[in-house]
Structure 1
Amino acid sequence: MAFRDGLVSFLRRYGLPLSLLVIAIFWQIFVLPSAFPPSHYDALGVKMYCSIEEVKDAYVKLMAKWDSGVDVPNVDHFLKVRYAFELLNNPIWKRDYDLFSVEEQRHIIGKVKQQYAGESFSKVEIPILNLPSSDLIDYVPDDLMAKDFIAKLGDTGNWLIQVYSSGSSRCAEFSRNWKLIAGWLEGVSRTGSVELREVELAAYLADRRKFTGRPVFENGLPYIVAFPHNCRSSSCLLRYQGELSVDAIVDWMATDILGLPRIFYYSKDSLVKDFFRKAGPHKVKVIFFSKTGERAAPFLRQTAKDYWSYASFAFVLWREEESSIWWNMFEVDFAPAVVFVRDPGVKPLVIHGVLNSSSFSKIMEQYKNQVLPQIRNINSMELGCDARGYSRAGNDTSTWYCVILAGRPSLELNNMRQTMRKIQDILSEDDLPEVAGLGRLSVSPIVVKAYREQRLTFAWVDGEAQSKYCFFYLFSEHSYETCGPKRYGDEEDVPRLFIVRYNRNSTSDDAQVEKYKGTMLSMFKEGEIGLASQLVARHNGSANIPEILEWVAEIVTNGDAGDLPYYKVKTPELVPEDAEPIWSKGAQSIVSKGKRIKDVIKSISSALYNFIIDPRMGSLLFLCASVSFGIIWSRTSQSAQQGEKVHNKEGGSNSTEKDKDGGKGSGGAMREQHEQQNLNTEIEPEDAHQWVSPDSDAE
């Protein structure tokens, strides 16, 4: 009973150091050996990094001993030796193992061991390792060399690089996928490959174990890394840790590295509700029809990013049972196809077939604006409708014109836009067409020439969104029917036409600057005074096409005469219609929450694994166990010594008192008796008196 109580007390007192000691022993015996298995050189009994000849000699000696029957190995031992021999006998495998600890076929030992369990080692079929396919040897068109890597990396753009080995079966199987990845990323990112024979470059791209500094490839080969734009060192490169599929790698590169937006799929029910209605009315709608349902190619996503302010993009999965719907809506006959919906009431542009990066970029640039382009802050100079810019005809053009239709979004505005598009078609055709009810039109050659020389532009502006711009050119008592938000009591929306004549002939000394109706501060806030003069003429007639053409001809004729006054005036800035796109905030900000959580879990797991396999952890645990044991033992000893001192002190005081009592003896008793006698003789009672004897002589 006393022994058990003592043992329990001991365990309670030294529980922490004993626990640390047990963990340290477990760490050293089980954890570290599994993380750092014995070298394959040890299996053959040769020194590390010996030559292939020494490996062969060691294996021949072992086989001779086994075949003679002197020492017959079991299957497990034979497989370890045979695996080490095949690995170290191959020059490429030996190089990969010596430099980067790469041995991708280690799992084969377990499979073969299970297959030949309980049988003789002589039954094992050799070789047990598989040589890689020879297809990889023919595919090294984008190999990077260490001598020109830094120069290529300094080029503008992004890089996706795979590190591979020509002796790896896994890399051989991945080679076809890499070709597809390089094709998908063409035009948006550069790709390259690094073979492990480029030892210095491969080590530069590899991971580093913190406690050894040795280059390793944690996820094996092939190893994928990316250099973002302006990244020129290993400190900013990003390593891919997902599955080695074409879709996963391309999407990682396009989304996380390039920051490209995803183009979503819509069904026949959601296309109008979720795409057309939510996309801005000022944007061209671009719809891709796909048979496979695969993600948008990176070059399409790059185009969507470049033209996000001009167009909205959508994908539709083509189904044969829905083909009649798409034919009636867009006249799409089959997939793949691209549809451009540019203006309401205008026949969509349909392009069937597969488009590459260059051809689609050209088409997008050509059709990025609506048929009747809308004047916006991003294209006013491009259209030639900005005094700060130049004519579409060229910088040498001194006089040019912009016919602008202004109005709030409404049915009346759409009808007028259709009229303006008809005028554009009339001026574009070689033979003047016949208009229903009007016959063949007669158009001034001056107007036709100016339009075809691109000195004359037709455009429209949203009077509600660009109210300051609209009021500036149409300032009158009737402007509220055209510009600004609709007020209570406005019966209808009235779109209006005006034409601006721009001129750069005069010098600034001859120019008269018209004062802007506002404060000086507001003038500088809203914009700058343009370099070209502006004269504005408003159309007060009907929406009849011949009448509009006649009005335009009169303005162009008088404007080209050059005898008009020259005024410089500041124009209010156009308001941007779109907010900042989500992908402009950076690649990391558009990663989904689920993916971000997965990445965090993966990084924590990796850090925990590196912590567990750190060889210093065992020594640290032993040290902690020793220190804690010493501290507890020291405190226990001090407590025991203090208790003994207190006990001794109490015992000494008790013995002194006993000595005082015991020293009385006979002498003490006699003194007490004498003191008692003295006490009795000295003390008299209060009623005591002197007694006189009768025989006394006193009187």
Structure 2
Amino acid sequence: MAGPTMISKVKAYWAPLILFGLGLFYQLVVLPRSFPTSHYDALGIKPYSSVEQVKEAYEKFSSKWNSGEEIPSTADFLKIQYAYELLTDPLWKRNYDIYGIDEQLHILEKVREQYGEESYSRIDLPLLDATDRSVHAFNVVTSEDFPSIFHDSKPWLIQVYSDGSYLCGQFSGAWKTIAALLEGIANTGMVELGDIRLATHLAERKPIGQIFFRRGLPSLVAFPPGCKSSDCMTRFEGELSVDAVTDWFATAILKLPRIFYYTKESMGKNFLAKTGPHKVKVIFFSKTGERASPFVRQISRNYWAYASFAFVLWREEESSIWWNTFEVESAPAIVFLKDPGVKPVVYYGSFNNSRLSEVMEQNKLQELPQLRSVTSMELGCDARGYSRAGSDTTIWYCVILAGRLSPELNKMRETIRRVQETLLSDDESNAADTDQSLSPAAVAFRNKRLTFAWLDGEAQDRYCSFYLFSETSFETCGARRDMSDVPRLFIVRYKRNTTEDEAKIERKPRNIWDAMQEQEVDPASQLVVRYNGSDEIPQIAKWVSEIIQDGDSKDLPFYRAKTPELVPEDSEPLLTRSAQSLFSKSIGMKQRIRNIMGQCYDYLGDPRIGPALLLAALMSFGTIWLMRGQQLAHPSQSGQPGPSANEDENRPARRKRAKKGSNEAGPPSITDEEPKDAYQMPLLDSDSD
């Protein structure tokens, strides 16, 4: 009887027993490991004792050793000597007392392994080297300056350092490089641990409220764009290297896309072939193979609508390939690939943020730019906008070559580029040598009143058909129906009514039709002339000049219409992938797991967990004891004595037998099988009626 009774009690009290065991294990095993002995314990003094008290305690040990009264073991001597040297240095003591930083503990382990069980007198002293630990600090931020540094929306990267830290001194060179790479796109600053108020604000906190730096010093924290408090602050947890820090900051903080490296085998099929024809191809040649710097990635995002970017690692054995392909002689270099058949534009040397921005602005468009949703206003080929010459210009022109992507279109694009060169050279030459018939077009082109562009007739079907509405427009606009592709040239004359633009009188529409008309028509009038001549360059240039001369001199009808919207091009996956989805190598899977384990370890060091587990065990035990006592006092409504332990165990068996017996004794239901002697009673005539 005792065995089943004990088993029944264990089953009833299993939860409080487990909680009680966990509480004891936490108090006796886990908690002591979370709070190891301090260096003050090695000297036998109270925590946070002064430097004088540390020296007094060490002198007591030293006098005993010198007198021969006590001979310490090597391990004990190393503990005492290390604690003395650490706690007598003001900076090291400050870092240890306030933040728990002890970055030289590896030296103690190294000396232990070196001397083993040898006599303590053979150990070379001092253990710690207090010389050459200076940190070259710049852009230091103090607690007084901190509230006012967020005057703009630029992000911040701040290094928390200590003047007495070897690791911070070793990181100084890398930090200068990081600050230089982030110049122009982010602010950088340094905070010394001596500024306790600000350093505490930037430090981490354990569940018990203790401040610390999980990965020691230096510690890097970032404030994303627009962030002005610690609530949105992000902490760097990766390897302290230039590449890892800048990649993390560019990817996680600035949300910038990466620029990938390509080889001579993958350049054609994975970059050039997959990049849209409307974009300029920008290729960086690097000697080092370093990742794209943050300002390069920033510029690539700013110009993603105009260009695609790639990196190539320069190797001398492949130099002939790159010379024959892109005319690149050496690295570092940047190559701009524009229109088909146009010579690549090559720049040599290193680039900073301002120079690269200037070069990109000069080369962001093709020699014959494409008319697109993002370029129509900039090119002056939009009836809702203005001329490239400025908003004061009332009449301007746009020559558009429309067609589907094909060899015929590429050939015609080359012709139009030659027309541009003809007008440009005609304008720059002497008046005696120029063809006066081209003068109107040359002057308009120089004054930015004339623009040349090409249009993808297949992608911009509605826009193309709006200007080339005819029986043969299918040969130029829309999807390809047959093998014939006929590029067509036309010119659009835009004119704005300056009187109407300046007045801008707000008048109420008389009816719904007037309101719809006011909203739908474009502010500038458009007159379209299609070119039906030959593909000769002089003839095209002369035709453009004649149109401009007539458009400027004659009073033509002011006709306004609603131009179809240009369809945005498909986004390029390489540069439009969200930066959050790019897995940063600076914070890999191992590092993420390590961070999670560190957070769990912080909670294990909470001394409140053990008493909470013991209290939960006590409350659970009392609750179960009371419930069992009530069951024994009131076993059932009929006043029968409560069930014994044997009855508790046999109750499921009795229920099973009772259920089985009830099923056998019960009458058959309509769902049971039909009895063998059953038959259908015939119906009487009266019943059938």
Is 1:455 paired with 2:449?
Answer: yes
Q: CA RMSD in A?
A: 3.3
Query: Residue 582 of structure 1 contacts residue 590 of structure 1 at CA under 8 Å; is this kept in 2?
Result: no
Query: Residue 284 of structure 1 contacts residue 340 of structure 1 at CA under 8 Å; is this kept in 2?
Result: yes
Is 1:341 paired with 2:337?
Answer: yes
Select the residue among 546, 559, 569 that pairs with 2:561. Answer: 569
CA 1:648 to 1:285, structure 2 compared with 1: closer, same or farther past 3 Å?
A: closer
CA 1:646 to 1:355, structure 2 compared with 1: closer, same or farther past 3 Å?
A: same
CA 1:617 to 1:491, structure 2 compared with 1: closer, same or farther past 3 Å?
A: closer
| CA–CA separation in structure 2 for the residues paired with 1:263 and 1:592 | 13
What is the TM-score normalised by the length of structure 1? Answer: 0.83
Select the residue among 169, 173, 176 that pairs with 1:176. Answer: 173
Written as runs of structure 1 = structure 2, the 5 A alignment for 1:258-269 is 258-269=254-265
What are the superposed Cα offsets for residues 535-587 of structure 1, whole Å, 9 maximum, x if unpaired?
21111111111211121111111111152222222211111013386766754
What are the superposed Cα offsets for residues 429-452 of structure 1, whole Å, 9 maximum, x if unpaired?
25889xxxxx99775222211111
**Paired AA for residue 104 in structure 2:** Q
Residue 371 of structure 1: CA displacement?
A: 0.2
| CA–CA separation in structure 1 for the residues paired with 2:327 and 2:130 | 54
Question: Partner residue of 1:368?
Answer: 364
Query: Residue 206 of structure 1 contacts residue 217 of structure 1 at CA under 8 Å; is this kept in 2?
Result: yes
What are the superposed Cα offsets for residues 30-57 of structure 1, whole Å, 9 maximum, x if unpaired?
3222221233333323333332222222
Residue 411 of structure 1: CA displacement?
A: 1.1
| CA–CA separation in structure 2 for the residues paired with 1:369 and 1:590 | 29
Question: Partner residue of 2:534?
Answer: 542
SS for the counterpart of 2:232 is coil
Select the residue among 281, 284, 308 that pairs with 1:285. Answer: 281
Select the residue among 576, 581, 587 that pairs with 1:589. Answer: 581
**Paired AA for residue 551 in structure 1:** W
Question: Partner residue of 2:145?
Answer: 148
Q: Which structure has the larger Rg? A: 1
| CA–CA separation in structure 2 for the residues paired with 1:306 and 1:525 | 37
SS for the counterpart of 1:340 is strand
| CA–CA separation in structure 2 for the residues paired with 1:370 and 1:364 | 12
Question: Partner residue of 2:123?
Answer: 124
Select the residue among 570, 576, 579 that pairs with 1:578. Answer: 570
Question: Partner residue of 1:619?
Answer: 611
CA 1:540 to 1:132, structure 2 compared with 1: closer, same or farther past 3 Å?
A: farther
Is 1:160 paired with 2:157?
Answer: yes
CA 1:308 to 1:431, structure 2 compared with 1: closer, same or farther past 3 Å?
A: closer
What are the superposed Cα offsets for residues 375-408 of structure 1, whole Å, 9 maximum, x if unpaired?
1111111111112222112222222111111111
**Paired AA for residue 87 in structure 1:** L
Question: Partner residue of 1:93?
Answer: 92
Identity %: 54
Query: Residue 228 of structure 1 contacts residue 258 of structure 1 at CA under 8 Å; is this kept in 2?
Result: yes
Select the residue among 536, 550, 554 that pairs with 1:558. Answer: 550
| CA–CA separation in structure 2 for the residues paired with 1:195 and 1:160 | 14
- Structure 2: gaps spanning 5 or more residues: 504-511, 645-689
Query: Residue 309 of structure 1 contacts residue 578 of structure 1 at CA under 8 Å; is this kept in 2?
Result: no
CA 1:330 to 1:527, structure 2 compared with 1: closer, same or farther past 3 Å?
A: farther
SS for the counterpart of 2:269 is helix
SS for the counterpart of 2:149 is helix
Residue 305 of structure 1: CA displacement?
A: 0.6
Question: Partner residue of 1:667?
Answer: none
Question: Partner residue of 2:74?
Answer: 75
CA 1:321 to 1:585, structure 2 compared with 1: closer, same or farther past 3 Å?
A: closer
Residue 217 of structure 1: CA displacement?
A: 0.5
Is 1:445 paired with 2:442?
Answer: no
Question: Partner residue of 1:275?
Answer: 271
Is 1:425 paired with 2:424?
Answer: no
CA 1:565 to 1:641, structure 2 compared with 1: closer, same or farther past 3 Å?
A: closer
| CA–CA separation in structure 2 for the residues paired with 1:253 and 1:381 | 34
Query: Residue 154 of structure 1 contacts residue 232 of structure 1 at CA under 8 Å; is this kept in 2?
Result: no
What is the TM-score normalised by the length of structure 2? Answer: 0.84
SS for the counterpart of 2:45 is coil
Q: How many matched pairs?
A: 629
SS for the counterpart of 1:372 is coil
Written as runs of structure 1 = structure 2, the 5 A alignment for 1:202-217 is 202-211=199-208, 213-217=209-213
| CA–CA separation in structure 2 for the residues paired with 1:480 and 1:13 | 85
SS for the counterpart of 1:406 is strand
CA 1:605 to 1:539, structure 2 compared with 1: closer, same or farther past 3 Å?
A: same
Residue 21 of structure 1: CA displacement?
A: 4.0
Relative contact order (alpha carbons < 8 A, sep ≥ 6): 1 or 2 greater?
Answer: 2
Is 1:321 paired with 2:313?
Answer: no
**Paired AA for residue 177 in structure 1:** A
Query: Residue 527 of structure 1 contacts residue 572 of structure 1 at CA under 8 Å; is this kept in 2?
Result: no
CA 1:649 to 1:349, structure 2 compared with 1: closer, same or farther past 3 Å?
A: closer
Query: Residue 304 of structure 2 contacts residue 575 of structure 2 at CA under 8 Å; is this kept in 1?
Result: no
| CA–CA separation in structure 2 for the residues paired with 1:268 and 1:616 | 62
Question: Partner residue of 2:83?
Answer: 84
SS for the counterpart of 2:41 is helix
CA 1:250 to 1:391, structure 2 compared with 1: closer, same or farther past 3 Å?
A: same
Question: Partner residue of 2:680?
Answer: none
